[in-house]
Amino acid sequence: MKNRIAFFFILLMISTSIYAQKIMRIGIIGLDTSHSTAFTELINGGSDETFSKGFRIVAAYPYGSKTIQSSYERIPGYIEKVKAQGVEIVSSIAELLDKVDCVLLETNDGRLHLEQAIEVFKAGKICYIDKPIGATLGDAIAIYEMAERYNIPIFSSSALRFTPQNQKLRNGELGKILGADCYSPHKVEPTHPDFGFYGIHGVETLYTVMGTGCESVNRMSSDRGDIVVGRWKDGRIGTFRGITKGPQIYGGTAFTPKGAVTVGGYQGYKVLLKQILTFFQTGVAPISKEETIEIFTFMKASNMSKEQNGRIVTLEEAYQKGRKDAQKLIKAYK
């Protein structure tokens, strides 16, 4: 009899332990990008991938771009796609935050990110902010400062950063990086500064390979595309080619003492999602605030160079302009 009681007690303890292993509930803000449906499919779609076990996207607030036609036209269809994966559609960010543990801020319009992110920060929810983290350098600086004010871990990244080949280059597995030339499509979006909306993919690839430390840039442009040349403090040169007309391709070449090495291109969203889910578990961002802000400073400096007929512009000069913009934005939330 005692053995039987002990047996049932053990079963009760096991079942209680399993029940206590709470699923981490994820909420999405913005159903105006294919990232939202791709992440939902990878997490909720019945995949046996171990990286997504223990997570569930449970709710989504669809909006989202209101003025970018290519984005807001997607929303009705993407609502139906995520509903088919068991996601509840809610009417406000506040309602979403009551139902989730962490947030994927996916809104395709970077101009909305600061306002939406602050609502998430105030609720104390850990947050991944999809590219671009903000529409401008000022937005990016302000978002990080507000996240620090509320003690909320955040990060933002292109999926190109976590392509396995690019991580090997980043980690020095393929040799010391002497320089790199990277490229990606550059889809012009008038509501965002150049590169910030889409060209950021190639700029982030360049930074993944080269690391931080760029001190100045200059830029040449035509209706077919743009070339930005960056000089790093140690004398290395890195370039970004934004392709406006031509093949919509991602990649590049890195230069090492042993020769030229191919830079990795786009290989799906899973590599990025693995990093996001690990971040949700640990609260440790895989990319520093400083690197993301330098990426935006690089883009800001390149735009200044274009406006001034290719003048060499220092990143410090560009950063100071972005810093002033950020201070104005932050004042509105004091």
> What CATH number has the domain bearing residue 85?
3.40.50.720
Asked if the structure places residue 15 within a domain, the reply is no
Q: Of 158, 183, 216, which residue constitutes the final position of a domain?
A: 158
In which residue are the tokens 């700029």 written? 203
Q: Kindly state whether residues 315 and 217 are assigned to the same domain.
A: yes
- Cα separation, 263 vs 169, in Å, equals 8
- Could you tell me if 29 and 93 are in contact, meaning their C-beta atoms sit under 8 angstroms apart? yes
pLDDT of residue 51: 77
Asked if the structure places residue 207 within a domain, the reply is yes
- Could you tell me if 71 and 108 are in contact, meaning their C-beta atoms sit under 8 angstroms apart? yes
Q: How many domains does the chain have?
A: 2
- Cα separation, 225 vs 243, in Å, equals 5
Q: Kindly state whether residues 46 and 187 are assigned to the same domain.
A: no
Q: What is the mean pLDDT of residues 246-265?
A: 96
pLDDT of residue 66: 86
pLDDT confidence tier of residue 65, bands split at 50, 70 and 90 = confident
Asked if the structure places residue 330 within a domain, the reply is no
- Could you tell me if 279 and 285 are in contact, meaning their C-beta atoms sit under 8 angstroms apart? yes
Q: Is 239 helix (H, G, I), strand (E, B) or coil?
A: strand
- Cα separation, 117 vs 145, in Å, equals 11
Q: Kindly state whether residues 313 and 186 are assigned to the same domain.
A: yes
Convert the pLDDT of each residue in 66-95 to its tens digit: 889 889 999 999 999 999 999 999 999 999
Task: Reply yes or no: is the peptide bond before residue 172 cis, omega within 30 of 0.
Answer: no
Q: Of 140, 158, 176, which residue constitutes the final position of a domain?
A: 158
Mean pLDDT of the chain: 92
- Cα separation, 37 vs 188, in Å, equals 23
Q: Kindly state whether residues 76 and 132 are assigned to the same domain.
A: yes
Q: Is 228 helix (H, G, I), strand (E, B) or coil?
A: strand
Question: Does 10 have pLDDT greater than 80?
Answer: no
Q: Kindly state whether residues 32 and 148 are assigned to the same domain.
A: yes
**Is residue 56 within a helix (H) or strand (E), and if so which, with residue range?**
strand 55-61
Q: Kindly state whether residues 106 and 249 are assigned to the same domain.
A: no
Q: What is the mean pLDDT of residues 263-271?
A: 94
The one-letter code for the residue type at 311 is: R
**What residues make up the domain containing 30?**
24-158
